[in-house]
């Protein structure tokens, strides 16, 4: 059985509604999946929602509904947004899926048996919002949470620990032997230094959090939300069957709820795409858990940067949270998708501004790709009403297509989505220049055959452009291909109507 290319987004918290930041990670995976599928690769693209923990319990209480009702509602909002944004995911996991919960419990018991999880106690400071303990070196002066800037709570409690300390050396060796695991490269050192600084065992249960997966052998404890969440990548891939021991029939019934998967065909994942703030969870804790389970590790974890909006952090309090669906309704979903990946080198932080969005829209889409399409179709139609299926082009044209495609493929391999778009837009700009230089509308008066040859050649090239833009702009790519396909030329509205300055 051949291995599929398994790509995952993080699973999103359902304590508030999705925004531009969540859409960014998901669209990135969608673009990559669509590109790979175009190349004939068998892709499995997983996304989902992270639904346990005190924060979610709190959001539900604030709305006066049960956690279950609340998670159903918000999870559905994510699904609806992904539909609007044309996300081609293959599977959607929710951590409240009984089959996932079952796998989490089974893994916990397995690690308890192997000694990788043990019962201990914790005394110190805890942040209720982070659902995390902080030690002296991490907290702000006066016992303040470094994230929420609120006083930490003093706790003394029984908790299970995962023996993270055991995996310090194996992790460092793994990073060294798999240089692509920590991507992009400039984010690797921070992780390596963190691990070299020494790993402490990790508390993986809570007694105060009710909305979580109970420890099977000691239900007074629920499992820490991150421990639960990371497991989604394997539970959704069908890891359950061989992890669960004991009553086979009971397991089978629960696991049947996850669509039958062939684990070996999916695992190890080829790529976990994550935001930079959750890189450490995915590159330290997660691989250590997998090592403890004796499972192969994901091939790559890639951390992208964060968006600010008009120079400010996106926040509800500032009221500057961008709803990608709203933006898409106004300017088209496809231009929004493309903008996010042209504006900022993938991996780095970026700032979203309407000015920059409009400028790029007009320059790259309306004036470049859109204008070329309407001009050439218009001019060709004056000479012949019909486009042929096969267009003969000169060898230099074939070579340029091949070179551009090779550059695009290389950029995809580095996940440099900005470079992919740069190559496509530059290619289209060259075609525009060719039209400007050769002036087929004038040439047609003296050499109609020569003019037609140039125009048809540019049509052939645009068929490639349409194919290349499709992973970023699926609807527009298809529409462009349709307009350029063999058959009578029709009159169409502009692909990208210009956005007026005011």
**Of the listed 29, 100, 127, 300, which one is catalytic?**
127
| Rounded-to-5 percentages of helix, strand, coil across the chain | 55, 15, 30
| For the chain, counts of helices (H) and of strands (E) | 22, 17
Q: Taking CB under 6 A as the rule, which mask of x and - marks residues 453-492 in contact with ligand MSP? A: ----------------------------------------
The DSSP bridge partners found for residue 307 are 350
Q: Does 423 bind ligand MSP (CB under 6 A)?
A: no
272 has catalytic annotation: no
Q: What whole-number distance in Å separates Cα of residue 209 and Cα of residue 230?
A: 18
Listed in sequence order, the residues at least 6 apart from 168 whose beta carbon sits closer than 8 Å to its beta carbon are: 195, 198, 199
Q: Residue 482: enclosing H or E segment and its boundaries? A: helix 474-484
Q: Which residue stretch of 11-19, 162-170, 209-217, 469-477 sits at the interface with ligand MSP (rule: CB under 6 A)?
A: 11-19
Helices (H), 279-416: 279-280, 286-293, 324-331, 333-343, 354-360, 371-383, 395-413
**DSSP letter (8 states) at residue 339:** H
29 has catalytic annotation: no
Least CB distance to ligand MSP at residue 275 (A)? 2
Q: Label residue 168 exposed, middle or buried (CB < 10 Å: 0-12, 13-18, 19+).
A: middle
How many residues touch ligand MSP (CB under 6 A)? 19
Helices (H), 7-52: 20-38
Q: Which residue stretch of 7-15, 171-179, 340-348, 411-419 sits at the interface with ligand MSP (rule: CB under 6 A)?
A: 7-15
Q: Which residue stretch of 22-30, 38-46, 179-187, 243-251 sits at the interface with ligand MSP (rule: CB under 6 A)?
A: 22-30
CB nearer to ligand MSP: give 56 or 454. 56
**Of the listed 3, 77, 110, 130, which one is catalytic?**
130
Question: Two tokens at 189?
Answer: 């050192």
Helices (H), 51-187: 54-63, 67-84, 98-114, 168-177
Q: Which residue stretch of 111-119, 273-281, 383-391, 461-469 sits at the interface with ligand MSP (rule: CB under 6 A)?
A: 273-281
Q: Does 307 bind ligand MSP (CB under 6 A)?
A: yes
CB nearer to ligand MSP: give 307 or 417. 307
Identify the residue among 17, 65, 172, 278 touching ligand MSP (CB under 6 A).
278
CB nearer to ligand MSP: give 310 or 405. 310
Q: Taking CB under 6 A as the rule, which mask of x and - marks residues 216-235 in contact with ligand MSP? A: -------------xx-x---
Q: Does 418 bind ligand MSP (CB under 6 A)?
A: no
Q: Which residue stretch of 199-207, 306-314, 405-413, 452-460 sits at the interface with ligand MSP (rule: CB under 6 A)?
A: 306-314
Least CB distance to ligand MSP at residue 15 (A)? 8
Q: What whole-number distance in Å separates Cα of residue 181 and Cα of residue 129?
A: 30
**Of the listed 79, 102, 125, 145, which one is catalytic?**
145
**Of the listed 316, 330, 433, 482, which one is catalytic?**
316
CB nearer to ligand MSP: give 171 or 230. 230
CA 110, 131, 11, 57 dihedral sign is positive
Listed in sequence order, the residues at least 6 apart from 85 whose beta carbon sits closer than 8 Å to its beta carbon are: 23, 26, 27, 30, 324, 325, 328, 333, 337
CB nearer to ligand MSP: give 351 or 467. 351
Identify the residue among 4, 6, 24, 93 touching ligand MSP (CB under 6 A).
24
**DSSP letter (8 states) at residue 42:** -
Q: Which residue stretch of 10-18, 57-65, 251-259, 364-372 sits at the interface with ligand MSP (rule: CB under 6 A)?
A: 10-18
Task: Catalogue the E-assigned strands of 276-324.
Answer: 301-304, 307-309, 312-313
461 has catalytic annotation: no
* SS3 per-residue string spanning 168-214: HHHHHHHHHHCCCCEECHHHHHHHHHHHHCCCCCEECEECCCCCCCE
Q: What whole-number distance in Å separates Cα of residue 496 and Cα of residue 482?
A: 15
Q: What whole-number distance in Å separates Cα of residue 101 and Cα of residue 95?
A: 7
**Of the listed 83, 113, 148, 330, which one is catalytic?**
148
Least CB distance to ligand MSP at residue 184 (A)? 14
Least CB distance to ligand MSP at residue 346 (A)? 11
**Of the listed 210, 259, 313, 330, which one is catalytic?**
313
Least CB distance to ligand MSP at residue 263 (A)? 18
Q: What whole-number distance in Å separates Cα of residue 374 and Cα of residue 491?
A: 9
Q: What whole-number distance in Å separates Cα of residue 482 and Cα of residue 375?
A: 16
Q: Taking CB under 6 A as the rule, which mask of x and - marks residues 309-348 in contact with ligand MSP? A: -----x----------------------------------
The answer to whether 382 and 489 have CB atoms below 8 angstroms apart is no
CB nearer to ligand MSP: give 54 or 476. 54
Task: Point out the residue whose Cβ comes nearest to ligand MSP.
Answer: 275
Least CB distance to ligand MSP at residue 19 (A)? 7
Please, which of residues 35-94 interact with ligand MSP by CB under 6 A?
50
Q: What angle do CA 38, 44, 45 make, to 5 degrees?
A: 90
Question: Two tokens at 465?
Answer: 């452009």
List residues with catalytic annotation: 19, 22, 127, 130, 145, 148, 313, 316
Positions touching ligand MSP (CB under 6 A) are 10-13, 21-22, 24-25, 50, 229-230, 232, 274-275, 277-278, 306-307, 314
């Amino acid at each position: 059985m051949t291995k599929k290319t398994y790509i995952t987004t993080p699973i999103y918290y359902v304590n508030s509604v999705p925004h531009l930041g969540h859409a960014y990670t998901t669209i990135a995976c969608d673009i990559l999946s669509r590109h790979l599928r175009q190349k004939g690769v068998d892709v499995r693209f997983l996304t989902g929602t992270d639904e346990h923990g005190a924060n979610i319990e709190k959001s539900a209480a604030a709305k006066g509904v049960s956690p279950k009702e609340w998670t159903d509602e918000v999870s559905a909002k994510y699904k609806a947004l992904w539909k609007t944004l044309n996300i081609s995911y293959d599977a959607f996991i929710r951590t409240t899926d009984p089959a996932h919960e079952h796998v989490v419990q089974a893994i916990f018991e397995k690690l308890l048996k192997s000694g990788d999880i043990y019962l201990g106690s914790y005394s110190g400071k805890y942040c209720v919002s982070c659902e995390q303990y902080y030690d002296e070196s991490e907290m702000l002066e006066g016992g303040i949470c470094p994230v929420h800037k609120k006083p930490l709570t003093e706790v003394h409690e029984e908790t299970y620990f995962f023996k993270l300390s055991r995996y310090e050396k194996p992790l460092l060796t793994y990073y060294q032997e798999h240089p692509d695991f920590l991507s992009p490269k400039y984010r690797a050192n921070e992780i390596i230094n963190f691990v070299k600084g020494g790993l402490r065992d990790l508390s993986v249960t809570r007694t105060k959090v009710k909305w979580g997966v109970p420890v099977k052998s000691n239900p007074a404890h629920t499992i820490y939300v991150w421990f639960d969440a990371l497991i989604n990548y394997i539970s959704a891939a069908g890891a359950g069957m061989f992890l669960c021991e004991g009553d086979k029939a009971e397991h089978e019934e629960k696991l049947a709820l996850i669509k039958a998967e062939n684990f070996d065909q999916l695992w190890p994942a080829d790529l976990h795409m994550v935001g930079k703030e959750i890189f450490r969870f995915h590159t330290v804790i997660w691989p250590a858990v997998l090592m403890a389970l004796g499972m192969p590790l994901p091939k790559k974890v890639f951390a992208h940067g964060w968006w600010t909006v008009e120079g400010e952090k996106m926040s509800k309090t500032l009221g500057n949270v961008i709803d990608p669906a709203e933006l898409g309704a106004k300017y088209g979903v496809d231009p929004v998708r493309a903008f996010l990946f042209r504006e900022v080198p993938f991996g780095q932080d970026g700032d979203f501004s309407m000015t920059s969005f409009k400028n790029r829209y007009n320059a790259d889409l309306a004036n470049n790709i859109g204008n070329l399409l309407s001009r050439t179709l218009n001019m060709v139609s004056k000479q012949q009403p019909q486009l042929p299926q096969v267009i003969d082009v000169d060898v230099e044209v074939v070579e340029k297509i091949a070179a551009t495609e090779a550059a695009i493929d290389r950029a995809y391999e580095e996940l440099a989505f900005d470079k992919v778009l740069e190559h496509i837009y530059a290619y289209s700009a060259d075609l525009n220049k060719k039209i400007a230089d050769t002036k087929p509308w004038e040439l047609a008066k003296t050499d109609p055959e020569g003019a037609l040859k140039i125009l048809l050649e540019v049509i052939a090239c645009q068929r490639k452009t349409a194919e290349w833009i499709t992973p970023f702009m699926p609807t527009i790519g298809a529409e462009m291909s349709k307009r350029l396909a063999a058959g009578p030329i029709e009159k169409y509205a502009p692909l990208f109507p210009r956005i007026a300055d005011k």
